[in-house]
Structure 1
Amino acid sequence: MDCVIYTRISLDRTGEGLGVARQEQECRALAERLGMTVVHIYSDNDISATSGKVRPGFEAMLNVQPPAIVAWHQDRLLRLTRDLERVIALNVPVYTVTAGTLDLTTPAGRAVARTVAAWSQYEGEQKATRQVAANVQRAASGVHQGRVGYGYRRDGACIVLEPTEAATIRAAVARVLDGESLRAICKDLDAQQAPTPGRGARWNTTTLKQLLLRPSLAGLTVHRGQVVGSAPDDSPRVIDEDTHERIKAVLTDPLRRTAPAGRSPKYLLGGIARCGRPTGELDEAGEPVECGGVMVRAVGRKTRQANGNEKRQPPSYVCRECYRVRRKQDPVDALVEGIVLGRLQMPDATQLFSQGDPAAVQDARDSIEALDARLANAADMFATGDINAAQLTRITERLRADRVQAAAALDAALPGAVPAELVGPNARQVWDGLSMDVKRAVLDTLVTVTILPSGSGKAFDPDSVRVAWKS
């Protein structure tokens, strides 16, 4: 009588197929004792019979309708009851090395086989349940067995901070919270040749966003996408939980632009300054009406000199509406920067832009931002069904009470786009270290810049640029 042999092993740690080779050897010996001729070997190495994955060898064996099957044990052939029914449909005997013959052609034999298969499936499901529970317990207790993430490294059996990577993350977090774009931060990281989290040689906004959103940066442990616990208090953290909530709220805000970014702004006042050319009309109060057009940066014009040579004029700001007001860019930028930074460096600047202790004001603002982030995240969790209405109510009541206390400590805060450290004697040094995104946001928050007309060919006149502080 002809037969086929089927062998399978769930996990081949060496990749050498030694387990299935031993099964085949013993199955051949059994077939020889039974006087059967082996016509084919079907094998599935390193494939579980309970995972639901397709077993190519098993499927091929069923398709050929074998006259008899020899296996090492029934659980090597199948472990799910649905697979047993497919074998029963073949109406052929199954011989096993360690469990005898399964006569699937009789009701009694099928009943025995179904019982064995049911218990095998139960055992597999129980094992999976225990494994999941163990994984959750390890995650909740902060035990980390996998590869450590960016910002951390292994030191023997301990996980510690990797100083350079942690500093890179903290700097990026601070810049995002100050309103800077991910695109600008990636550009600077590439210029600094900062190592990336993956194998890529360059930073990109997707990689940076995913990195900054990792709960593990704040010592939170995650299992299957859900935060299940927090590492012990003495465990290393790149950022604290409040900062994590704030950065999460900023980067997941639906109003944040997610479309592919265009070019980063390069010019300080392009699109911010306005044209002050009088139109010749009067408003209702009898005041002259100004053009009000947006001033944009334009490349320098070419002019022909008396000797016939061409000379390019320096870049300028020009009105996009009337095109009749034009001013050289560099002296305008320098003037506006000087006025703003000079005011921010004055002794009364702290009292002008904030009240009370500047550090306390900053702490209160940070607390409000963190509480708002937690409120927003709680609403998102309710919307996705992660928490119910009662849980949402308890969370929001507590957070709103905390927010009232924080707001009471914050009578007047610095405008949101202005970094707190920019107010004081070190304003110039701080300014020089800011990106163009943040500089523009600061100016747009603090002042209104109007460029007035001036005769052509004249030296730059500071009075032709009007800088008004916003209330």
Structure 2
Amino acid sequence: MTIKSVEAKASDRLRLYVVDMLHRAEAMIPDLEPLDCPDAAYTRISDDVEGQGLGVERQTEDSLREAERDGVTIPDRNMFSDNDISASTLSKKPRPGFERMVAYVLTRQITRVYAYSNSRLTRRPMELEVLIQLAEQYGLTIRTAVSGDDNLNTADGRMTARIKAAVDAAEAEKTSERVKRQKQQRLAGGLPPGSRYRTFGYTRDWQPIEGEAAIVRETFDRVARGESVNAVTRDLIARGVKPVSGGEWRFQVTARMLESRIYAGRLSYKGQDAGPSKVPALITESQFQAAQNRERKAAWNARTGLLSGIAVCSRCNTAMNLSEGAYVCARIAGGCGAVRIKREWLDNATDSVIWFLMMWKRTQELTNTGTSTDTADEAEALVTQLDREIEEVQQALGAGDMDLADALPVLKEKRARRAKAAEDAEAALSAANDETWRDWDEYVSSDVSSKRTMIRRHLTAVMVSPATLRGRSTYDPDRFRVVTVYRDAEGKVLEFSGRGCGQLREARDMHMATDPSRFDRIHIEWGQGTRLVKGPQEGILESDRGGARIEHHIEGGTIAFDMPV
């Protein structure tokens, strides 16, 4: 690449930036209200820590005082402001106040702008070029309280303004470098980078606030159990819970809380795990991970049907949704519009399969050799060891025995290994003990969101075929089948037809109608495999003591209940 090509690209970038900003300003012109005064004032503060706009107020006073020296009174509608928005070269935030002021200049309703300093107008050299264009073509003049007045219509004035803009941009970049270095040093010392507001649940010096901490624990627990973020948010709003910034609690506040590792005693930087924190943890890492595995969906798109989006039309493979008490394949959703089935038929069938899978999964847990548990223990031991090593490096850094430049790569390597070990431990624990499988009574009493979370993890789909029998009230068990994510002992996908679901429901009702304490052993036989749910692991199919045996023969296998006499 030649020097000329680099210059051409830089020139093109500048031209595009100027044109783009002018186009955005032009788009605002139709909505502008007419002004009676050609003079305006612009104020900006990049970091309003106080949250009260006091910095902008101070700039306004100085700018208006400068205008008064010229005998100019600036009305309120001619005041333009961007509060808590940076104007540095590193900022990507738009400045609506600045761009609205530019729109008025384009309509020639503003010809003079007062500001506290050049840096308050902009720290971006490319934005200065916009102001130069406005000065040359629209006669804009700029007055500042402390930076002097640069005549942008002369070569010397433009040179001076550009030098000042370059200095301001460099100062902004130096500030950014200092802030980044400070964040790295805090992370290396086991502390969060810090933010404008305190974190919900903690004081400014990172001590737990018990009332808020209880809400944090409750939120993670409810979401981990399958309740939707939207449902939790609505409940917090109804209870009058407020975020630290004031105002009303929102869906985004709950979502950010659930993604914050600091509650689990971990640091985070640029969205990545940055090692253990010295801040007291409010939840365990397993609770944090369980909340990350939630079903993610928009706050405004909460499903009301148990199988909405899970039931699938077998004719066109379109997801079906609930409408007037039935799951339908709607044309408006891209479906064929030819398949409709009553809600209770599919919901009851799915509940029966979930009940069976609860029992079937427990048999696997009882007959497992413990390999997953051993793997989890090894991974957790490695996590603990790496935590100790990271803490040792942090202590050496704090005591001055190690330089920051030497500590950062060591911490980065150990934190990466620690993240991988934690991921392995979580996967092994999930395989050894799936926490989404709870008691049947708890499943039945859960809300729709919690049930859907369980169903989505353990069912692939509920396939529904078009009706072959006349009448919407005619039940046809051959119309649908429930497909799970599991395979039986022969390697076949575990799925149930409508008839199989009916048989499972009978077995479930028989089981639930009998006192569980009376069961000696519960057996499930599927394919060539035999699984023991309750009783000694080495138990056999026939009861040693004799007694009653209840068997349910279902397509593909048998569920048997042994009860003592």
Q: With structure 2 as the length reference, what TM-score do the two structures score?
A: 0.41
Greater share of residues in helix: 2
Q: With structure 1 as the length reference, what TM-score do the two structures score?
A: 0.47
